[in-house]
Amino acid sequence: MQRPLGRNERDFWVLDKQTEFNFTLVVRLSGPLDPEQLKKALTAVQHRHPLLGVRIDGDPPGFLPSVNPIPLQVLERADDDHWRRRTEGELVTRIPSTEGPLVRVTLLSSPQVHELLITFLHAIGDALSGIHFIRDLLQALGMILEGQRPVLAPRPASVPLDALLPTRVRGLEGALKAGSFVGRMLPGLLSRPRKLPGNDEVPLAQREARMLPHELSEATSEKLLQRARAEGCTLHGVLMATALRAIARQFPESEPISLACSTAVDLRSLLQGDIAEDIGVFVAPVTTFHSVSKSASLWPLAREATKKVHQARERDVLVATRLQGGMMPRDIRKSLELFAHPAWGAFGITNIRRVELPERVGPLSLEKVHFVTCARMLGSTLGLAASSFRGRMFLNYVYTHPVASPSQIQAVVRDAVAELHTAA
């Protein structure tokens, strides 16, 4: 496959050139797993999705064919925390974009328990792309285990998001919507939003991704879901509200504090074209602003967060994507200044919700599915990558060390998770 990068793909590529911009999905499996069979399954998945066989090169940058197979590294699984330590390293280890492919796989293996780590360059995919990758990999592996040749139907050549935007956000109508969008954002921008304090002078090369993983049991997850529904909000809104309240408690002021939150929105259902099964960058952030009081109840804030994210998704996200795409500064200093601004969010959340994957493939059982991403440009912003599988919620809070204070971040996460348990 060969084509120029779309505007959002180019933005992610620019970020990666300045500081590695990867995301990782982690699948825990139990049962016997042969690495050679896994390699064959990876080959089948690579042949199915065009963007798994490309590199990025040229000026202007574009996707070019890569002849390299998806690399698989097999390591002996040390302990139950090995996957977290390895994932922190994966997030900040560069994927050579001029060589390709732009994805790599690591298997942490023991006789009966394994973690499969799939790391993408963000310029070719998003969280749901990673789920598609895992789904297709399991399908190919199942064929191999049944003695079949692993052949998966190929997807068409990838189309950039720019070409999939509906007509209502283009031309004069799009320009009018863009003006309305800017007008709606101004009050939030003028509210002087805050962020947790951080040392933004730390050079990018010295910034590390750190994770604080938490898991809610099946019973707690179900209780929290039912309570959220009864309160007229979504789990996403509850996750936002608990984090924002925990962040607000770190400030000495007694009056309400303005905090911005960035939510990653899946655009697939809003775009034109048959892309539901494709790997690609079909995601964009929406920013919502909240006046957070330490003394206020959780549920009004959760309802407000639910409403604001819904409105932004339905009304603003495509307009913002059209307006902001391709605007990433090439100068690393300007990027650092841009992302240090509190309007980018004291908190950022990607929630892939319930993951639709088979629980068994032959003798293998899927136990857990994690998603993790960390943008070191964002400094002291606290991130959350959330997923749900087999009834359990997996919450991976992430931050940039040593820009953000580990003790302060740990206190925020401890408070947020405790409130989730209390709310259930």
Q: What is the pLDDT of residues 179-236, one digit of tens each?
A: 888 888 899 988 999 999 999 889 888 999 999 999 999 999 999 999 999 999 999 9
Residue, of 345 and 354, whose pLDDT is higher = 354
User: Is 344's pLDDT higher than 90?
Assistant: no
Alpha-carbon distances, residue 94 vs 119, 204, 330, 380 (angstroms): 10, 13, 18, 22
As a whole number of angstroms, the distance between CA 315 and CA 106 comes to 40
**Under 8 Å between Cβ of 380 and 390:** no
Q: Where in the chain is the domain with CATH 3.30.559.10?
A: 3-145
Measured CA angle at 19 (ends 214, 127), to 5 deg: 45
Which pLDDT score is estimated for 398?
96
If 0-12 CB within 10 Å is exposed, 13-18 middle and 19+ buried, where does residue 195 land? buried
As a whole number of angstroms, the distance between CA 25 and CA 130 comes to 7
As a whole number of angstroms, the distance between CA 280 and CA 124 comes to 5
CATH fold of the domain at 169-354+371-423: Chloramphenicol Acetyltransferase (3.30.559)
**Tokens 């943008």 sit at which residue?**
375
CATH fold of the domain at 3-145: Chloramphenicol Acetyltransferase (3.30.559)
User: Is 53's pLDDT higher than 90?
Assistant: yes
Which pLDDT score is estimated for 171?
81
Q: Where in the chain is the domain with CATH 3.30.559.30?
A: 169-354+371-423
Spatial neighbors of 408 by CB under 8 A, at least 6 apart, are: 196, 197, 250
Which pLDDT score is estimated for 69?
98
* 48, two tokens: 């199915």
As a whole number of angstroms, the distance between CA 101 and CA 333 comes to 29
| Number of other residues whose CB lies within 10 A of the CB of residue 406 | 12
Nearest to 158 by CA among 300, 9, 39: 9
The stretch 20-40 carries a mean pLDDT of 96
**Under 8 Å between Cβ of 200 and 336:** yes
**Under 8 Å between Cβ of 239 and 349:** yes
What is the tens place of the pLDDT at every residue in 258-267?
999 999 999 9
pLDDT band at 326 (very low <50, low <70, confident <90, very high): low
If 0-12 CB within 10 Å is exposed, 13-18 middle and 19+ buried, where does residue 166 land? exposed
**Under 8 Å between Cβ of 396 and 384:** yes
